Amino acid sequence: MTNFEPGQIILVRFPFTEINRSKRRPALVLMRSDFRRFALYTVAMITSSEGLEKHAADIAMTDWAKSGLPHASTIRLAKLATIDHELVEKALGKLAAPDLKRVRRQIKSSFAFWL
């Protein structure tokens, strides 16, 4: 089993609940936690920026190409998921330092209520 760390961008098979198939999407690893004999990853959805309705917690990536993505992309911190390690297909790259700093700042701001 490969270990993915926070800040890595991975390719994930997101399952659909209403039909028996999945869709491959990039995601940002926010947290890894071990549960019994397998890993769980908390991830944020990454989507291409074209025609995107903006959300206050969105982070437009400034260095998406160096992060291993083929298109300008946005990290959607309002769309988080905890997934089993078996849904991860591969690592695509690592989030650029300035973008990672913006993600951390937004997470702290969004979850300040819980701190």
Sequence ranges of the domains in the chain:
8-114
Quick one: fold of 8-114?
Answer: SH3 type barrels. (2.30.30)
pTM of the model: 0.88
pLDDT at 111: 79
State which residues of the chain have pLDDT below 50. none
pLDDT for 5 equals: 93
Q: Which long-range contacts (CB under 8 A, 24 or more apart) does 53-58 make?
A: 57/106, 57/110
